[in-house]
Amino acid sequence: MSWLHNSKVQFKIYKGPAAGWGALLSVTHAWLTSEQPIKNIRALLRTNQQGGFDCPGCAWGDSPESGTVKFCENGAKAVNWEATSRKVDAAFFARHSVAQLREQSDYWLEYQGRLTEPMRYDAETDRYVPIDWDAAFALIAGHLQHLESPDQAEFYTSGRASNEAAFLYQLFVRAYGTNNFPDCSNMCHEASGAALNASLGTGKGTVTLEDFQHADAIFVLGQNPGTNHPRMLEPLRDAVQRGAEVVCFNPLKERGLERFQHPQKMSEMLTNRSKPMHTEFFRPALGGDMAVLRGMAKHLLAWERDAQRRGIAGGMDNEFINTQTDGLIAYLAVLDATPWTHIVEQSGLTYAQIEQAARLYSGASNVIFCWAMGITQHHHGVATIQEIVNLQLLGGNVGRLGAGLCPVRGHSNVQGDRTMGINERPTQQFLDRLAETFAFEPPRDSGHNTVEAIGAMLTGSARVFVALGGNFAQATPDSKVTHQALSSCDLTVQISTKLNRSHLMVGKEALILPCLGRTDIDLQATGAQCVTVEDSFSMVHASFGQLEPSSDQMRSEPWIIAGIAEATLGKKPVDWHAMRDDYRLIREAISQTLPGFESFEQRLADRGGFHLPNSASERNWQTSTGKAQFSANVLPVSLIHEKVLASGRVHDLVVQSLRSHDQYNTTIYSLNDRYRGVSGQREVLFVNQKDIDRLGFEAGQKVDLVSLWDDGVDRRVKRFTLLPYDIPQGQAAAYYPEINPLVPLDSYGVGSFTPVSKFIPIRLERSTNEQRPQWVFS
């Protein structure tokens, strides 16, 4: 079967490479549908350039050389999506009640255009009505001032907020009195931060872009860069070209990890040739990576022991281990204690495949490990990342050129936001610096992360919810429960660029505060402002908006935060309006507070920005022992959670949620997913034909997905189309956020609180009112 279709869904195997002509066509389409193509082409040429703006897409970094085009297909989509001429204004809200808007899809909601004026929810008419900025700030201040405790308010952040906005926001929230900072990072790379902090004393990756040019082996785990970090394809392809190993671990043969056609290499484009993206591809079980890594380490250990017996050098870096690390003995003990049968069974790979992976590792002098959501969004995500670190420590692969750890971040400034203090569990050191610089006593207790914030809103212990960007209602798990949590608040405030479902899950009162995005010119009292961001490689650089905002009622994020702060706290602890008028004052405050930001303003002029020091990459270990730490975690006995077992039902499949090629998180650009060959629909379940047969269904049939948990709640999404796909048996995949209702709120990672979005045991049920599937196969 090469393709199948009915009136709604089409499926056709995609044979082209990643990027190349397919990407070019797609960019052109995005330009044309933005309704201001000429303006946007000009804007795109300023993407990631000196004096231009930072791409609002992913957090991959760029080399500082100028002149080359530095945006990718999905960056172009992100820019065009933000820079649309369509508007969601007062007239739009007068036409649609909130109840009516709730009936619309996420795709439709965001497609309506940019939010252009501040709006207040009027419960009587169930409509949003205009409000002026001062009245909006007074409403928020009134609510905040009347709470019994500042801990009754939740302050969410999504990862597009600039450093300036994030710093001002956390300063305001802490001066107000709480550390309740749920953020998108809680659902994203939290496990990376937790694991790396405990093991290496830094929460960030240890490599820079330059390291990719010197690596002999690059391991890419649980990541789909062809879609989510397209600018990463070039360094991977270059590595393959120069003979380095690129070793991928992914249950799905993602197109971007297979072949790549360089859109800026004329010879490749004209001859329609493409280059391979990997030298080895392993397809582990969902959640099986920790077992694979443990098996690799077990091989290294066996080879090392053998070498020592024979008096020759083995594959481990003993000098590094002896001088730089701690905890080896305990780790070797768990390696020895983990039986091969357990490893092989859990990994989904064979003993020989794991041995092959270990050989690739030990055969390389310099190794980089990259990973993303396929690793972090698991129950044992932290332990899996610590196993990556363990392996890298055995090989001495941290803190030298061409080697290291690279958690590939998501949102374009999610790493910067954490640096600025968006953290519900800030270090005491950071709080001390704040106290010293701004002469106030910040709250010292831990605040709420995303899962805890939802819990607090549900029980009524949190009453006010403020979001600096993002789409809390859709990005979070257990959608019904989250929607209920938001709706039970006294006040919900969304600072946003585009309409989404979070605006429709209103509290008793609700506000929409329309803000400028990265592409917009940000004009303040002292002139046009720039903001700064930090990429995955800890490079900080400036971003200048280029496009005229679509209304004079939109405001910058710092302007809005300063307005809320001034209305709530007056001029304490800083002159908010002065900072709003001149972002250099915010950067001055940052440079006084945060190590690494000395002479912030001056260093912004450097081409490509500046690099924040990373202690681990200098082999300075800020851990409790002062050494890099081996972690002796036990391999989970079973990946099926005890609460799933306690449901008394046996699962049919384990499903992971992932992104299509035409979405940015909850923002859906179209209903197509080019590389996976799907068009026209997102409610599909990718599943192996053998499983479809085993479970007694037919390809193309509509099914309900029901998740298993011990609390008796019916978590179900309806009428998903079964799509036969090249996926290991027993596994399935579906799109985020469509299947978020299936993730129970208390299914989260140990030590990370990250919702387990990549391992959801489900049963399939025949959808009711079902007609016979009308599929054509050929």
Among the listed ranges 10-18, 283-291, 572-580, 703-711, the one in contact with ligand MGD (CB under 6 A) is 283-291
Compose the 169-188 pattern: x for residues touching ligand MGD by CB under 6 A, - for all others. Answer: ---------------x--xx
For residues 373-390, one letter each, b for 16 or more C-beta atoms within 10 angstroms of the residue's C-beta and e for the rest, the string is bbbbbbbbbbbbbbbbbb
> CB of residue 394 vs ligand MGD: minimum separation in angstroms?
20
Q: Does 485 bind Mo ion (CB under 5 A)?
A: no
> CB of residue 154 vs ligand MGD: minimum separation in angstroms?
13
Longest dimension (CA), the chain: 83
- Which residues 6+ apart lie within 8 Å of 249 measured at CB? 219, 220, 221, 222, 282, 283, 284, 289, 292
Give the SS3 label for residue 310: coil
- Which residues 6+ apart lie within 8 Å of 120 measured at CB? 128, 129, 130, 131, 135, 136, 139, 509, 510, 511
Sign of the Cα pseudo-torsion (660, 661, 663, 664, in order): positive
> CB of residue 440 vs ligand MGD: minimum separation in angstroms?
26
Q: Does 561 bind ligand MGD (CB under 6 A)?
A: no
> CB of residue 663 vs ligand MGD: minimum separation in angstroms?
5
Taking the C-alpha atoms of residue 342 and residue 223, their distance in angstroms, rounded to an integer, is 25
Q: Does 410 bind Mo ion (CB under 5 A)?
A: yes
Give the SS3 label for residue 293: helix
Options 498, 676, 682, 763; binder of ligand MGD; rule CB under 6 A? 498
Compose the 105-134 pattern: x for residues touching ligand MGD by CB under 6 A, - for all others. Answer: -----x------------------------
Asked if 641 and 98 touch (Cβ cutoff 8 Å), the reply is: no
Q: Does 251 bind ligand MGD (CB under 6 A)?
A: yes
Q: Does 398 bind ligand MGD (CB under 6 A)?
A: no
Q: Does 470 bind Mo ion (CB under 5 A)?
A: no
Taking the C-alpha atoms of residue 300 and residue 323, their distance in angstroms, rounded to an integer, is 19
> CB of residue 59 vs ligand MGD: minimum separation in angstroms?
7
Taking the C-alpha atoms of residue 164 and residue 581, their distance in angstroms, rounded to an integer, is 12
Taking the C-alpha atoms of residue 252 and residue 326, their distance in angstroms, rounded to an integer, is 36
Q: Does 287 bind ligand MGD (CB under 6 A)?
A: yes
The partner residues of 467 in beta bridges, in order of sequence, read 156, 494
Options 173, 175, 373, 756; binder of ligand MGD; rule CB under 6 A? 373
> What are the structure tokens assigned to 297, written together?
């380490």
Q: Which is nearer to Mo ion, 188 or 232 (CB)?
A: 188
Q: Does 188 bind Mo ion (CB under 5 A)?
A: yes
Q: Which is nearer to Mo ion, 188 or 434 (CB)?
A: 188
**Cis peptide preceding 558, ω within 30 of 0:** no
Size (the chain), residues: 778
Please report, for residues 431, 700, 773, the alpha-carbon distance to residue 7 in angstroms, rounded to integers and kept in the order given: 58, 12, 11
Q: Does 558 bind ligand MGD (CB under 6 A)?
A: no
Q: Does 194 bind Mo ion (CB under 5 A)?
A: no
Among the listed ranges 133-141, 204-212, 337-345, 655-663, the one in contact with ligand MGD (CB under 6 A) is 655-663
Q: Does 224 bind ligand MGD (CB under 6 A)?
A: yes
Taking the C-alpha atoms of residue 615 and residue 430, their distance in angstroms, rounded to an integer, is 16
Options 84, 112, 179, 223; binder of ligand MGD; rule CB under 6 A? 223
**Binding residues among 132-171 for ligand MGD as defined by CB under 6 A:** 158-160
Site of interaction with ligand MGD (CB under 6 A): 57-58, 74, 110, 158-160, 184, 187-188, 221-224, 227-229, 249-252, 254, 284, 286-287, 289, 372-374, 377, 410-411, 468-472, 475, 495-498, 500, 515, 517-518, 557, 656-659, 663-667, 736-737, 740, 743, 757-758
Site of interaction with Mo ion (CB under 5 A): 188, 410
